[in-house]
Structure 1
Amino acid sequence: MKALVIFCHPNPKSFNAAILDVVKQELEQRAAEIKVKDLYAMNWNPVLSASDFQQFLANQKPEDIAGEQADVAWADILVLISPIWWFSVPAMLKGYIDRVMSQGFAYEYTDNGPRGLLPGKRAAIITTSGADENTANQSGMMQAINTSFVNGIFAFCGFADVKYINYYAVPMVSNEERKQMLDNVRQFIKTI
């Protein structure tokens, strides 16, 4: 298995970073080839610019996008680790998707409608939220993430399987509960 792990949190000591450590451990135990993209450490530029569009129209790709697309093409599975801020993922991750999962690479338009160009790939999305489960569900936050990421982005791009899990109320739970969450991450990764 070739796993591309996309990590998006500015604090290297965050609970999301602890999730990243567990994900890497579990993938290593499965003898997976792993590439980790820490978007903040990379100082990834999340802005899809006019220059990017001009290069796409000229059948060219900015160097940073071409490198990321090569890694996505290499991977069997993408694992995304991110907090949810204001009912969505951070701009850094959204910008990564905007720039990397571009038309002509991840999808195309045909006479019969859009067609995903990344068939057979899988994704595992792991998020954390400050909201508890009841609040997150009542607010529509979880439905929005499912609609935009699971059914939107990855299904649109042709992914064969997308699994998603969120860990709720992370800032408010006890260390013991966080430990249980990390144990759950281990089990989640075993299912991908």
Structure 2
Amino acid sequence: MHALIVSAHPDGNSHTQAVAAHVASGIQAGGIHSVEQINLADEQFDPRFNQADYAQFSQRAALPADVVAEQARLDRANALVLVYPIYWWSFPAQLKGWIDRVFTQDWAYYEDGDRVTGKLGHLQVHLLALGAASPRTYVRHGYFSSMRTQIDHGIFDYCGAPVMTSELLLPSDEHFPDAHYRLAHNLGRQLFNTKEPA
């Protein structure tokens, strides 16, 4: 089995990148599964949905080459792990743009009138969101439930990809940052042992 870990952080020494690296080390620890870890910031992925993307969406042109390459990465994967800092209650723009451009109609989902069929059922999804506010702030404003609506359901359920893990990690967590690294490593070790969500 193969996992793709995607993050988007301009600082290679960030907590985000450390958590992503611990997921990767957990996957590799068993010696059975493979993993590819990418940082969209390092790769300078262009997140802007541009004229070429719109032409493809309108069925007037083929997919841009960079989108084809990202879809090939996902086609090789059995699991997608997104590790990201929360910017303005959502993904960083580069990660959101990656989804905007890569999760295209007829590849990630198919629309037939009012019916939508997700096409990514082979891809289990694991989400690790790294926040900075207190747990009370997230609870008071309903952030975690809104994140699950916006991201878990609005993106991945729409595409038929089951969300197996959806975690909110905060600096106020006991034994931070080591607790985050242990959780990430254990997630990697157990990644392909996860049962379907209830």
Q: Quick check: TM above 0.5?
A: yes
- Offset of residue 80 of structure 1: 0.4
Write the distance in 2 (CA, Å) between the matches of 1:55 and 1:180.
Answer: 44
- Offset of residue 112 of structure 1: 5.4
Write the distance in 2 (CA, Å) between the matches of 1:27 and 1:188.
Answer: 8
- 3-state SS of paired residue (1:177): coil
Contact map agreement 1:9 1:16 (CA 8 A) in 2: yes
Report how many residues are paired.
189
Structure 2 unmatched runs, 5+: 192-198
Write the distance in 2 (CA, Å) between the matches of 1:132 and 1:62.
Answer: 41
- Offset of residue 120 of structure 1: 2.7
Write the distance in 1 (CA, Å) between the matches of 2:189 and 2:135.
Answer: 23
Aligned to 1:132: 134
Write the distance in 2 (CA, Å) between the matches of 1:187 and 1:74.
Answer: 23
Write the distance in 2 (CA, Å) between the matches of 1:159 and 1:51.
Answer: 26
Write the distance in 1 (CA, Å) between the matches of 2:83 and 2:190.
Answer: 16
Aligned to 2:34: 33
Matched letter for residue 37 of structure 1? I
Matched letter for residue 41 of structure 1? D
- Offset of residue 67 of structure 1: 0.4
Contact map agreement 1:150 1:162 (CA 8 A) in 2: no
Contact map agreement 1:82 1:89 (CA 8 A) in 2: yes
Aligned to 1:55: 56
Percent identity at matched positions? Answer: 26
- Residue 9 (1) aligns with residue 33 (2): no
- Offset of residue 10 of structure 1: 1.1
Write the distance in 1 (CA, Å) between the matches of 2:6 and 2:24.
Answer: 11
- Offset of residue 74 of structure 1: 1.2
- Offset of residue 49 of structure 1: 0.9
Instruction: Specify whether residues 188 and 137 from structure 1 end up closer, same or farther in structure 2 by C-alpha distance, changes over 3 A only.
Output: farther
Give the TM-score of the pair, scaled to structure 2: 0.89
- 3-state SS of paired residue (1:99): helix
Q: Which moved more, 1:141-150 or 1:121-130?
A: 141-150
- Offset of residue 128 of structure 1: 0.5
Matched letter for residue 8 of structure 2? C
Write the distance in 2 (CA, Å) between the matches of 1:118 and 1:157.
Answer: 6
Correspondence list, 1:135-146, <5 A: 135-146=137-148
- 3-state SS of paired residue (2:80): strand
Contact map agreement 2:23 2:186 (CA 8 A) in 1: no
Contact map agreement 1:154 1:162 (CA 8 A) in 2: no
Aligned to 1:162: 164
Write the distance in 1 (CA, Å) between the matches of 2:159 and 2:90.
Answer: 19
Aligned to 1:177: 176
Contact map agreement 1:123 1:163 (CA 8 A) in 2: yes
Contact map agreement 2:108 2:120 (CA 8 A) in 1: yes
Write the distance in 2 (CA, Å) between the matches of 1:125 and 1:161.
Answer: 8
Write the distance in 1 (CA, Å) between the matches of 2:52 and 2:176.
Answer: 46
Give the TM-score of the pair, scaled to structure 1: 0.91
Correspondence list, 1:59-78, <5 A: 59-78=61-80
